[in-house]
Amino acid sequence: MAVVYFPEFRLGKVLATSFTATLSERCGEALERIPVPSRLVDWLAVNGLAVDSCTQSQLDHARELRESIHAAATAVANQDPLPSSAVQVINDCSTRGLASAILTAEGSREWRLSSASVEDALSVIAADAISLLAGEREGKISLCASPTCRAAFFDTSRGCTRRWCDMNTCGNREKKARFLANKRKTSSLAG
C-alpha cells in the first residue's frame, strides 16, 4: 500500500490562529495542511479537541470557518470594518456546537465536547477567535510581513513588534534571504 504523506501542522499557542495556519502561503503557493477529513481529525486531537469522525462536508465547513477567521483577523489588523459574512460564519459555528471548559486536577483547562463532533470542536475554535477579535486578550492581531504569507497571528511580545507569523519558517526564510543578499554584495565588491 502506498504511504501518503501529508504536510505537517504548524502549531502555535493560540488556538484560533493555529487553526488559520492550517492553510499557509495564502498569497503565494498555498499549502493546505488539512487536505482530507482525517487530517482535520488529527489536527483537532493535537489541539485537545478529539472528535469521533469527520465527513467531507464537515471539513468544508471547518475550512469556511477558518477562512472567515482569517478574513476577520485581517480586517482587524488593517483596522478595516469586519466583513459581515465572516462574522456570520464565526457566530454560527460558535452557537452550533456545545463544549464545556473543564478544570483538571492538575489545575489546567481542558475542553469537553458534548458529543465529540466536529461542530462541537468548531464552536471552541470560533469562541477563541471571538475573544481575540473582540480584543479581550493582551496582545495584538498582526499580519506576517512575508508577502507570500500574510498570515494573521496574535502578537503577545512586549511592545508588539513581532513581524513574522512563525520565526522558524517565515522569519528564517527572510533572514536567509537577507544573508545571501549581503553575501552577494560582499563578493561582488571583492571581485
Residues within the interface to Zn ion (CB under 5 A): 144, 146, 149, 151, 165, 170
- Min dist. Cβ of residue 78 to Zn ion (A): 16
Nearer to Zn ion among residue 24 and residue 94 (C-beta):
24
What span, in angstroms and rounded, lies between the C-alpha atoms of 27 and 25? 5
Nearer to Zn ion among residue 89 and residue 152 (C-beta):
152
- Min dist. Cβ of residue 176 to Zn ion (A): 14
- Min dist. Cβ of residue 108 to Zn ion (A): 29
Nearer to Zn ion among residue 28 and residue 55 (C-beta):
28
Helix axes 84-96, 118-133, angle to 10 degrees: 130
DSSP-assigned beta bridge partners for residue 100? 112
Nearer to Zn ion among residue 111 and residue 153 (C-beta):
153
Nearer to Zn ion among residue 93 and residue 165 (C-beta):
165
H/E stretch holding 58: helix 56-77
- Min dist. Cβ of residue 27 to Zn ion (A): 10
- Min dist. Cβ of residue 159 to Zn ion (A): 20
Q: Report H helices in 78-171.
A: 84-96, 118-133
The dihedrals phi and psi of 158, each to the nearest 5 degrees, come to -65, 125
Contacts of 84-92 with C-beta under 8 Å, sequence gap 24+, read: 89/64, 89/65, 90/65, 90/126, 90/129, 90/130, 90/133, 91/126, 91/130
